[in-house]
Amino acid sequence: MTEYDYWKIFPRMPRKVSIGDITVRDGFQHEERFISTNAKIFYAQEMILAGAKEIEVTNLGSPEGIPQFRDAEQVMSALRSDAFRKRCERKGVDYDAVVMTAVTIREAAVDRAIELKKRGIGPDRVLMMVSTDPEHHFANSGTTLSQYWREAERSIKKAADVGMRMCGTVSTIWGSPITGATRLEDAVEFTKRWLSIGAYDIEHADHDGSASAAQVYRYFSMILDAMPDPEAHLCHLHETKRVASASILAALQAGITRFEGTLGGLGGQPANFLDDCPVRGTGEYYYKDTRYVGLITIEDLIVMIDELGIEHGYDVDRVLWLGAKMEKTIGRRLRSEAVCNGRTLKEGHREYARPGLSTLIEKLGEKPGCLVPPEWTASAVLPQKWGPAAWK
């Protein structure tokens, strides 16, 4: 007999997951218009109130390269304010359980995070990134991999001294936009390298939508076979071909319990243009059309997880409301389908019912709820030949 229980077929598949929000950092970094400080604060705070326990709030790198985050300290100050802490208390949100992350690609940014931490407005967690493709890594960091590993090792120790966790990102796992195919085995080894030098957790990243479901399942199975603590691993998928949701399901089947996304599927490579002026970013874009890139949409991700019956901790309707507001903030239609069509309601939409059915049933003398003619057998009986075979 076929096994119908999904969790028996995939015994590593979780019943509960954590979904991080990275809209304000990764989502906004690809926008070519400056997103106001007030908007950044609003969406970060509202996503926490909607259920986010892990949230990326800014990038502490040089504002010359990524001027979208020139307001990093203002955003951090607002999130660390007594006023917001009290608001969380009133809403029943455990403020101290929320992990706020700042991206710190280089050591100088880690030093800046440490300074902010000492001032009481710093992040709980910082993030550095290596790519298994040396060319992609150089484009992001300006260093060789050997240089960067030494820098990361120093940075992890410095961050730990002030109580900050380090997330080590591994990128180009399923392919590089510069050099093409990469080896999954290299990404497994890089994950071990991060953990061996003291990283708290690992973000496993597909930064250009290269991943396929089969390869995602294979990779995360390899990861959990080698390092079997699901809390140490985070799935970060970009959406360029409308296939990332299949990869999310594959990651769940492999046993991954931590994911992240952005409102509207915003995000992508750091912008090389802001308002009316070219900026450095990370150079020319890797994409043919920059409108159709970004992360998996957190609205659709949460709805998908919710309808699988997996616990996630979000107020789904609140997130969909925020997704609709984000379209007004950005000024264009974004990529969430759930924002447009909502989620599947078990109680249905009775407002769409056509009038007159009960009257017709009564007129015909049928019983309410009757699905087939009453003279038919209670269960269908297939003939010896049926379907295409019966027509031959």
Domain containing 178 equals 12-341
Confirm whether 49 is domain-assigned.
yes
Q: How far is CA 293 from CA 9, 151, 209, 266, 297, in A?
A: 33, 30, 8, 8, 11
Confirm whether 348 is domain-assigned.
no
pLDDT at 186: 98
| The total number of structural domains that make up the chain | 1
Instruction: Give backbone dihedrals phi and psi of 390, rounded to 5 degrees, phi first.
Output: -75, -20
CATH code of the domain containing 272:
3.20.20.70
| Token pair of 286 as six digits | 């890797």
User: Chunked in runs of 10, what are the mean pLDDT values of the chain (392 residues)?
Assistant: 95 98 97 98 98 98 94 98 98 98 97 98 98 94 96 98 98 93 97 98 92 97 98 95 93 98 95 94 83 92 97 98 98 94 87 92 93 94 95 91
pLDDT at 97: 97
Confirm whether 392 is domain-assigned.
no
pLDDT at 240: 87
Longest pairwise C-alpha distance within the chain: 83
Pick from 214, 216, 218, 222: nearest CA to 236 = 216
Confirm whether 390 is domain-assigned.
no
pLDDT in tens, 98-112: 999 999 999 999 999
pLDDT in tens, 262-304: 999 999 889 999 999 999 998 888 878 878 889 999 999 999 9
Confirm whether 371 is domain-assigned.
no
Confirm whether 81 is domain-assigned.
yes
| Token pair of 309 as six digits | 């019956």
Confirm whether 203 is domain-assigned.
yes
Confirm whether 379 is domain-assigned.
no
| Token pair of 66 as six digits | 């990524």
Alpha helices (runs of H) in the chain, residue ranges in sequence order:
6-9, 28-29, 37-50, 72-79, 82-90, 107-118, 134-141, 145-161, 184-196, 213-226, 244-254, 298-307, 316-330, 338-341, 357-364, 388-391
**Residue written as token pair 């594959």:** 250
Separation CA 164–CA 16 (nearest Å): 26
Contact 137, 93 (CB under 8 A): no
Separation CA 45–CA 57 (nearest Å): 10
Dihedral sign of CA atoms 90, 92, 93, 97 in order: positive
